[in-house]
Amino acid sequence: MTIQNPDITQDLATVQLDPAQQVELNNLLNECQAHLESCDADLISKAFKLAFLSHKGIVRASGEPYYLHPLEVARIVVKEIGMDDVSVAAALLHDTVEDTEVSLDDIRSEFGPTVAHLIDGMTKISGVFKSKGAKQAETFMKLLLSMAEDLRVVLIKFADRLHNMRTIQHLPRKKQLSIANETMELFAPLAHRFGIYNIKSELEDLSFKTMDPTGYKFIARKLREKKDAREKFISKFLEPVEEQLRASGFKFNVKGRPKHIYSIYRKMTRQQKPFEEIYDLFAIRIILQEPHTKEDCWRVYSFITDSYTPIPERFRDFISVPKANGYQSLHTTVVSSTGQKVEIQIRTEKMDEIAERGFAAHWRYKEGPGKEQDINRFVSWVRDVLDNPRPEAATEFVEDFQLNLYTDEIYVFSPKGELKTLPKGATPIDFAFEIHSEVGERALAAKVNGKIVPLRLRLKSGDQVEIITGKQINLNPDWINDVVTHKARARLRQYIKQKERKVSNEGRQLWNKKADRAGIEISDQELAKVATRLRYSSLQMLFFDIGSGVYDVNKLLKAVKSYMSKGRVDESEARSDLDSPAADHYKIAYDINNIHGGGEGLILNGELTDVRFSFARCCNPIPGDDVVGFISREGDIKIHRVSCKNTRHLIKTDGERIVDVSWARNTGNQFMAAIRIVGEDRVGLVSDISSLISKNLKTNMKSINVTSDSGMFEGTLIIMVDGIGHLEKVIMRLQKVNGIKEVYRYE
């Protein structure tokens, strides 16, 4: 093997490793032999040696030798995903082409075309793009294209991202947030779509831990505090069920583990409930050992319902109708003898492995009858997405693709009884495009369960849908706000852009005629500057407004004359022309960004600063919260809580404007915070709350809003605090007030 780097030109088979590296290689080979069906020791040894030599002298942000990263990625591929020896070799070499002088041709000649293809699929796309976001989107699109040819590409990428997230604490805060946000928005949902539950859950938890460490630690502490009580409850709860199973000759295992931390946090925020009010914090899994079948799962279900009362609306049969990612299991929620709701999942060992490892398990079972079809089902949706009209911008493609990474699904039927799986919230328009693009384009109306309904109706599981079509294309641009599938949105986006181009071309023609009559010659580059001063994001948008009649071409002529004579657009003229949607957007942004706070209490880049800043009203951060700053166009900083729902969007769209900020001690300022309270209504309750906060705790209460119904009350308090500790003290004292059941910070 001839490689440009002179340190690694020797034959890999003759390379002698240090004793420490040899031990690591031996451990990896032992793991491969234990977990893989076959193991080419020579292939893996050569890959390990090249990874070690090519990264020699390079260290990671943690200070560790770089080669340890591909080694750990390979171990994840072996132990936690369970692929094949070719995937292990590719995992060991996945960074060589991108980060060292080893070329793809070198890999191909030494390790063969398959390993080279896998590495190429994971290598970041080269070239210069307009923004970091565009580059990430192009990289992701390339990953999908490679994945459509060989799904091992994305499985190795999951292992790579998982190890990067496990070691993310060594990176600068700004980079941590960017990587965690990308992981939460793309890689965790993609892992879900492939059914790899264990990796999906860990990616979500690690991203959540990075973005909101305070929230993560709170839930983790609560779970630890309840661990002993939880295990004791599960043991007692399962006694009658296990007795029946043993008496009937079943061989089984039981898992009773808490749900992962981010899923609990998501339930708390969605339901606006404190930790104590989330009842399904854990799930019990009854796993039947081979050779038990799916019919045996139903027998186990009958044993459970003999002992406990089921909640009918919480029953799910994913065995008869598997999820789109191949997941199979029976789910039921029952009420225990103490009144606690308990979720139970029933599955076979094979179903459990597929639930945990998703596609990787299908890969392992691919030699079995019908398993090749299972694998094809996994790859068909990727190819289907790539075959649909693809947005011109990679960022738009990724945004549309995310629609396919849904969590909640519904099942609907065609008139002939064909089952279709759609995202929750799907409409007949989505269903029409799922049948065929031409059906979606020509849809006129829909029948759901035999009745004519609007095309924008939200479908429910079990609905039977019939699409009535015409002979001509009947696309409606307004549908873009109603559809939830990639197929429908991609086609509608393409249609809208075609219409916009047509209107923009008409606007350009109107301008050209006007300019010719006035004897004005101006380049598109100069005209784009005029468009910018008129508050338009692009020249294309200006022409679109002219073509659609929103903006008068005579006003543009006036602005161009002013620009050519003075070299600038008069401020009063520009403001008088702020009558387009684009101008409204800029005006609103200007107003918000000119609300400034004081200069105290903010540490920027490790030093106390007097830069102008303000606190975002969407999340009202207070000292002690994990916060991040965003630089506005005017140069001041807007402070958001890291857990704020808008933070992810800002990181994604304007990641370059993130700044690391933290709180200075003893700011001496007061901050607004909201508290939610729920409890039993009684005479004098509001007075007791007011007295406690104002007199006992010496806290300024800005407002209290309480509603009462059927003996229960709900209320929201707005108080002024000096930090997170002050807020927690108020919450703890309120919990002791007679009649109050729930108290928590209100988002």
The residues, any chain, with a CB within 8 Å of residue 516's CB and separated by 6 or more, are none
For the stretch 306-315, pLDDT in tens is 999 999 888 9
Has 478 been annotated as catalytic? no
**Average pLDDT score over residue span 150-173:** 90
Q: Is the pLDDT of residue 262 over 60?
A: yes
User: Does 400 participate in catalysis according to the annotation?
Assistant: no
Read off the pLDDT of residues 641-657 as tens digits, 9 standing for 90 and up: 888 878 877 777 777 77
* pLDDT bucket at 531, cuts 50 / 70 / 90: confident
Specify the range with the lowest mean pLDDT, choosing from 17-31, 147-161, 441-455, 683-697.
147-161
Tokens (6 digits) for 438: 């031409």
pLDDT higher than 90, residue 71: yes
Q: What percent of the chain has pLDDT over 70?
A: 81
Q: What are φ and ψ of residue 673, in 5° steps?
A: -140, 150
Interior/surface letters 152-177, b for 16+ CB within 10 angstroms, e for the rest:
bbbbbbbbbbbbbbebbeebebbebb
Q: What is the mean pLDDT of residues 502-507?
A: 90
pLDDT, averaged across the chain = 81
Q: Which of 479, 473, 556 is nearest to 511 (CA)?
A: 556
Question: Does 134 score more than 60 pLDDT?
Answer: no
Task: Flag whether pLDDT at 688 surpasses 50.
Answer: yes
Q: Is the dihedral of CA 125, 127, 132, 138 positive or negative?
A: negative
Lowest mean pLDDT: which of 75-79, 372-376, 463-467? 372-376
- pLDDT the model gives residue 594: 32
- Pair 175, 106: CB distance under 8 Å: no
Whether 128 shows a pLDDT value over 80: the answer reads no
Q: Which of 7, 42, 64, 98 is catalytic?
A: 98
DSSP 31-67: HHHHHSS---HHHHHHHHHHHHHHTTT-B-TTSSBTT
The structure tokens listed for 717 are 């308090």
3-state secondary structure 264-312: HHHHHHHHCCCHHHCCCCEEEEEEECCCCCHHHHHHHHHHHHHHCEECH
Domains contained in the chain, CATH given = 6-196 (1.10.3210.10), 219-357 (3.30.460.10), 494-592 (no CATH), 594-663 (no CATH), 671-745 (3.30.70.260)
Q: Which of 200-204, 320-324, 728-732 has the lowest mean pLDDT?
A: 320-324
Q: Which two tokens stand for residue 380?
A: 């068909």
Check 31, 40, 99, 149 and give the catalytic one: 99
Alpha carbon distance 464, 171 (integer Å): 51
pLDDT of 368 over the 50 cut: no
Q: What pLDDT does 684 receive?
A: 86
* Span of 503-512, 561-570, 593-602 with lowest mean pLDDT: 593-602
Q: Give the least confident one: 212-226, 645-659, 676-690.
A: 645-659
The highest-confidence range among 300-309, 646-655, 679-688, by mean pLDDT, is: 300-309
Position 137 pLDDT exceeds 70: no
> What's residue 369's pLDDT?
39
pLDDT in tens, 388-440: 555 555 566 666 666 556 557 788 999 988 888 888 889 999 999 988 889 99
Q: pLDDT tens, 566-603?
A: 654 444 444 344 343 333 332 222 222 333 333 345 56
- Residue 335 parent element (H or E): strand 330-335
Residue 278 confidence (pLDDT) above 90: no
At residue 210, the pLDDT reads: 93
- Ranked by mean pLDDT, which of 26-40, 315-329, 488-502 comes out on top? 26-40
Tokens linked to 299:
């027998």
Arithmetic mean of pLDDT, 481-488: 85
Residue 647 or 342, more confident:
342
Among candidates 641, 601, 639, 637, which has minimal Cα distance to 625? 641
Please report, to the nearest 10 degrees, the dihedral formed by the alpha carbons of residues 413, 419, 424, 429 taken in order. Answer: -60
Q: Using the 8-state DSSP alphabet, how is residue 738 labeled? A: T
- What pLDDT was estimated at residue 339? 85
What is residue 269's predicted lDDT score, i.e. its pLDDT? Answer: 83
